[in-house]
Structure 1
Amino acid sequence: MSASRDLLNALGAPHLPVLPELPARGPGSDAIGRTAGLLEELAVDLQPHGWRLVPEPGMDHRRAVSALTTDRHALTDVAGESGIDVEDLLVRVTGPMSLSAELWLPGGERSLSDHGARRDVAQSLAAGLAAHVRAIRSQTGAERLTVVLDEPRAAAVLSGALPTASGYRTVRSLPRSEVREAWTLLAQAVLDAGATGIVLAPGRAGAGEEWTWTDLALLASEALPHSAQASRSGTGQAEEQRTVALALPLVPLEGAGSDSSRWDIVAGWTEASRDIVFRLPSAQAAQESPLAKAVTPADPAAGNGNPYRGIGVTIAQTWERIGLDPELLGRLVLAAPDQSAASHLRANQALASAVATAEELDRIRQDGGLG
C-alpha cells in the first residue's frame, strides 16, 4: 500500500499516477505474468523458461490474478483513507505482440509462432483488458483512465528477430497488417470499455531488427484511432476528449546518441493533435546524457539534485530549432523511468525529479517558449 500512497501523493493533478507494479513480490507480479492474468478463457502456468499457455488455470495463474486484484484494491483503499479523489490514472500492460512473443505453447515453442494462438491471445487480452478497465474505473472512481500498451518486442516481432526454443532459428516475421489489426483491436476494446486514453509504446532492442522507429511510428499511426474525439459506445453520452499517444525514448537531436528522425516523428504527431510520451532515462543514464549536459553539467556528487536538470530546457531548445509552436509542448508527457528495482527512497527521488522537469517544461510553454 505504501507504493500506492507514494504515487498518489507525488503524482497529483495535473500529473498521472499509475497503478503500481511490484515485480519483486515474485511470480505473477512480473510484466508478463501480470498481463497474462488478464486473459479471458486462457490460462497460464510458470515454467523455468517462462509463462506457458495451459488448458486449465492453476496456482500460478491464480497468483497472477490475485496480485493484480490486490493492487487495484490497495490503490482504492489508500485513496479513500487519504481523502484523495483519483481523477486521472494510468495503467500499463504488455501488448498483444510482445505477450505472444513471451508466452510459450505446451509443445515448447513461442505462441508467436502459431497463427491461431496469436489470434486467441489478442482476442482474450482485449476482452480481459476491457474488464480490467471497467473494474478500475468502478473501484477507484477515476474520471480519466489511460492505458499504455507496452510492446518492447514490437521491432523484433516485425523483423523476425526472435529466436525459437532451440535457438537455431528465428520465428518468422509477422505481416504488418496482423500487428496493426491486433493493436487496433486492443485500442478499440479499452476505449469502448471507458478508457479515455491509449498510449502505444513500441520498442527496439537493436540486434537483427530491421524495423526503425519511423516504421513503428507509421504503423502505430495506422493502428490507433485517427480522431482524438470519441463517444462511449452504447452510453448515449456526449463526445469527450480522448488521448491518443505514442511513447518514445528521449534522445538528443544532435550529437552522441542523436536521432533526428525521431524528432520528425514528434513533429508529425504533435501537429496532428496527438500526444508524445517521452520516456526519461534512468537517473544514472541521465547524468551521462548530452540532453542534460547541454545546459547544466551533471554533478555526480549532488546526490540529492535533479538528475534531469537541463532536460526540460534542452527539449524546448530542440522544439524551437525544428520550428514547432511552443504551445504544442503541451502535447508532451514525460514518463519517469521504471522504478521497480529501486529502493523506496530512490523511487521517490526519481518521481520528484521527473515531476520537477515536467513542471519546468510546462512553465516554458506558458511563457511562449524560451524567448
Structure 2
Amino acid sequence: MTEKSETHNAGWGPATGVGSMPGGDAREAARTVTGSFETFPHLFELPARGPGADMIGRTLGLLVEMYAHVEPSGWRVSDRPGRDTRRARSWLGEDLDALEEFTQGYTGPLKIQAVGPWTLAAALELRNGEAVLSDPGACRDLAGSLAEGLRAHLAEVRRRIPGADVVLQLDEPSLTAVLLGRIRSASGYRVHRAPDRQIVESALRELIGEERTVVHSCAPDVPFALLRRAGAAGVSFDFELLTERDDEAIGEAVEGGTRLFAGVVPSTDAALSDPAGSVMGVRKLWRRLGLNPGTLAESVVITPSCGLAGASPAYARAALAHCVTAARSLADNPE
C-alpha cells in the first residue's frame, strides 16, 4: 500500500469497512481490505472461525485482569483465563500479523474495532447468569478493564504499523436498547433497568479519552447527541434506518464537526445499484437539512451498512469496492 495523501479527507479516508469479513483466512481478509481501502483500511474480524473471533469474544480477549468463557447461553465471567480467552488472543495476533504484512510502508488513517462498554455489559454474563448490566459496580469494573486493554491494543497496533493514524471504533449496537431499558434478564420475563444517561455518557467519554473515536451502531434510533457530547469524532450507522426525527441531531452533529460514517451499501448479498444511486439518500439528507453540498465529501465516510460476516466472499469484495466508487461519486457530484 502507498500513501495517497491527496485523497485523504482531513485525516479520514473517503470510505472504509465496518469490521467483520466472511471466511476464516486472515491473509485473504487483509489482502481484500487493504486492496479495497488504500486510504482507510481497517482491522477485520472473522467470526466464522468460532467463539473468540466474534466481536464480543475478541473484545473480551482484550480485557485486563478480567476473563470470560463460553457457556451455552453466551459469554460468562471467569476467575482466570481459559481456552476461550487464549483462542481469542491467538486469533487477534494472527489478524494483526496479516494486517501488518499488507500495510508495509503505509501512512494514513487505520481503523480498529472493539465492542463498547454498554453493548459488552449487555452481552457478558456474571457468574449468576445475569448480564453485567444488572450490576452498576460490575459495569464500572468492566469499563475500566476495557479501557486498560484498549490502551495496550492501540499501542501494539501503532508499534506494528508506525505510519498509521489509528482510529478507534467502538461497536455499540445495543446502546439504544440499554438506554431504553430493553435488555432482557436471563429469565426473559423482565428487563434490566436503564442506567442513568449521564452515567452512560460519562463511561463512554472516559473510554474515548484523547483517542479519535467513531461509535458504530447498526440499530435504529442511534443517540447522536449523546455520542457527540461523549466526545465521539464520528458516528457510524445504517443509513436505511434513519428517520426524519434524526434530522436535527444529525444536522447539529455535522455542524459541530462530527464525521458521519454512512452505511449505504448492503451488508449481505444483494444487487448493488450504480454508485451515484447508493449515495442519493445522503444527497437528499443534505438538501433536507439545508447543508452546503460542498461539505459532503469532508463530512461523510461511506461504508457498508454493517459488518460483512454474513456475506459471500465475492459479494464482500464487491461491496468494499462499491463503497469506494460511491464515495468518489459523492465527492465528484455533491449536488
What TM-score does the superposition give when structure 2 sets the normalisation length? 0.86
Mapped to 2, the partners of 1:34 and 1:45 lie a distance apart of 12
- 1:262 is aligned to 246
Counterpart position of 1:171: 192
Does residue 312 of structure 1 match 2:279? yes
CA deviation map 1:61-104 (0-9, x unaligned): 11111111211111112333xxx514221111110000011000
| Structure 1 residue aligned with 2:237 | 248
What whole-Å deviation, never above 9, does each CA across 1:205-246 have from its counterpart, x for those lacking one? 6xxxxxx44xx1221122116xxxxxxxxxxxxxxxxxx112
- Residue 248 to residue 150, structure 1, CA distance change in 2 (3 Å): same
CA shift, 1:308, in A, is 5.0
Between the aligned partners of 2:203 and 2:215, the Cα distance in structure 1 is: 12
Q: Which blocks of at least 5 consecutive residues in structure 1 are unaligned?
A: 206-211, 226-243, 252-256, 288-299
- Aligned partner of 2:331 among 342, 348, 362: 362
Q: Which residue of 2 aligns with 1:219?
A: 226
Counterpart in 2 of 1:335? 303
Q: Distance in 1 between matches of 2:120 and 2:268?
A: 29
Structure 1 counterpart of 2:215? 200
Q: Using the alignment, how far apart are the partners of 2:164 and 2:312 within structure 1?
A: 31
- Equivalent residues, number: 307
Deviations 1:142-192 (A, max 9, x none): 43111111111111111111111111111111111111111011100xx3x
2:30 alignment partner in structure 1: 4
SS at match of 2:188: coil
Structure 1 counterpart of 2:206? 185
Structure 1 contact 87–141 (Cα < 8 Å) conserved: no
* 1:325 matched to 2:292: yes
CA distance in 1 between partners of 2:196 and 2:257 (Å):
28
SS of the counterpart of 1:310? helix
Structure 2 match to 1:63: 87
Q: What is the alpha-carbon distance in structure 2 between the residues aligned to residue 85 and residue 119 of structure 1?
A: 37
- Equivalent residue for 1:119? 140
Matched residue SS, 2:103? helix
Other-structure match for 1:79: 103
Change (3 A) 1:24 1:180: same
1: CA distance between counterparts of 2:274 and 2:58?
A: 30
Contact 1:53 1:104 (8 Å CA) reproduced:
yes
Q: 3-state SS of the aligned residue for 1:280? A: strand
Query: Contact (CA 8 Å) 1:306, 1:353: kept in 2 or not?
Result: no
Tell me which residue corresponds to 1:31: 55
- 2:265–2:303 Cα contact (<8 Å) kept: no
Rate the CA distance shift 1:245–1:283 in 2: closer, same or farther, 3 A.
closer
The worse-fitting range, judged by mean Cα deviation, of 127-136 and 337-346 is 337-346
Instruction: Please list the CA deviations of residues 311-355 of structure 1 after superposition, one character each: whole Å capped at 9, or x if unmatched.
Output: 324422432343111222111111124212222211110111111
Pairing 1:251-290 to 2, within 5 Å after superposition: 251=240, 259-282=243-266
What do you get for the CA RMSD once the two structures are aligned?
2.0
Distance of aligned partners of 1:47 and 1:12 in 2 relative to their CA distance in 1, 3 Å threshold: same
Where does residue 161 of structure 2 map in the other structure?
Answer: 140
Distance across 1 between alignment mates of 2:268 and 2:311: 12
Q: Tell me the amino acid that sits aligned with residue 326 of structure 1.
A: P
> What amino acid sits opposite 1:35 in the alignment?
T
CA separation of 1:37/1:283 partners in 2, compared to 1, >3 Å: closer, same or farther?
closer
Contact 1:160 1:170 in 2 (8 A): yes
